[in-house]
């Protein structure tokens, strides 16, 4: 396999503007942003497709935290989530903050990349980082066996069947 740029970024062999990181995922500002705050959420382990990420729910929780941070810290109107996989052969979620008159239609396209100076990118990263720290992604709860308490059921002693009832049941059983 050729070197994967996202694996290199996750290993910190390529510098990036990190807005979030834990043991499994890293979120970085895209160097060719569609809008200010456009972030890539990447699993640290090389995985080809988004749907193959082992901790799929936690992966999307990171994307959600980045989105909410963009709304809070950057005053984004809303956020688009995009998953692709043909430019870089490593799973990634694009979290694209949307703003009034941001130059994109309903779905942002790479035809309208923004040129944002490095210093401004660093400021955006710090704002997102601070907002994410206030509302970190949820982690999957530890699997816990539910405790089922057995409640004793009060039983009434059954009345014995009469000889006639026993004989009737026997005849019905024999006749099938």
What span, in angstroms and rounded, lies between the C-alpha atoms of 74 and 68?
Answer: 10
- Any idea what the CATH number is for the domain that residue 62 is in? 3.30.428.10
Per-residue confidence band for 164, with pLDDT thresholds at 50, 70 and 90: confident
Whether 173 has a pLDDT exceeding 80, the answer reads no
Q: Count of domains in the chain?
A: 1
Contact 96, 38 (CB under 8 A): yes
| Domain annotation covers residue 174 | no
Contact 44, 73 (CB under 8 A): no
Whether 52 has a pLDDT exceeding 80, the answer reads yes
Helix (H) or strand (E) holding 98: strand 92-98
- The predicted pLDDT at position 53 comes to 95
Helix (H) or strand (E) holding 167: helix 163-175
DSSP 8-class letter at 78: E
What is the overall mean pLDDT for the chain? 87
| Domain annotation covers residue 101 | yes
Range of the domain at 83: 5-134
| Domain annotation covers residue 157 | no
| Domain annotation covers residue 143 | no
Tell me the pLDDT tens digit for each residue of 77-135.
999 999 977 789 999 999 999 999 999 988 888 888 999 999 999 999 999 999 999 98
Per-residue confidence band for 158, with pLDDT thresholds at 50, 70 and 90: low
| Domain annotation covers residue 110 | yes
| Domain annotation covers residue 31 | yes
Whether 4 has a pLDDT exceeding 70, the answer reads yes
| Domain annotation covers residue 168 | no
pTM of the model: 0.77
Facing residues of 39 across strands?
A: 29, 95
What span, in angstroms and rounded, lies between the C-alpha atoms of 67 and 37?
Answer: 9
Label the pairing between strands 78-84 and 92-98: antiparallel
| Domain annotation covers residue 43 | yes
């Amino acid at each position: 396999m050729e070197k994967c740029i996202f694996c290199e970024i996750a290993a910190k062999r390529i510098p990036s503007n990190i807005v979030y990181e834990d043991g499994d995922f890293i979120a970085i500002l895209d160097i060719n942003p569609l809008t200010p705050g456009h972030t890539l959420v990447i699993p640290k382990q090389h995985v080809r497709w988004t749907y193959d990420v082992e901790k799929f729910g936690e992966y999307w929780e990171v994307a959600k935290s980045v989105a909410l941070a963009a709304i809070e810290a950057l005053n984004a109107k809303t956020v688009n989530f995009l998953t692709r996989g043909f430019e870089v052969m490593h799973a990634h979620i694009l979290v694209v903050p949307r703003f009034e008159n941001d130059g994109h239609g309903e779905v942002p396209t790479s035809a309208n990349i923004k040129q944002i100076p490095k210093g401004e990118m660093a400021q955006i990263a710090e704002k997102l980082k601070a907002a994410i720290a206030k509302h970190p992604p949820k982690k999957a709860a530890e699997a816990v066996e539910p405790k089922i308490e057995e409640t004793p059921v009060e039983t009434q002693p059954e009345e014995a069947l009469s000889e006639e009832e026993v004989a009737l049941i026997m005849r019905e059983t024999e006749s099938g």
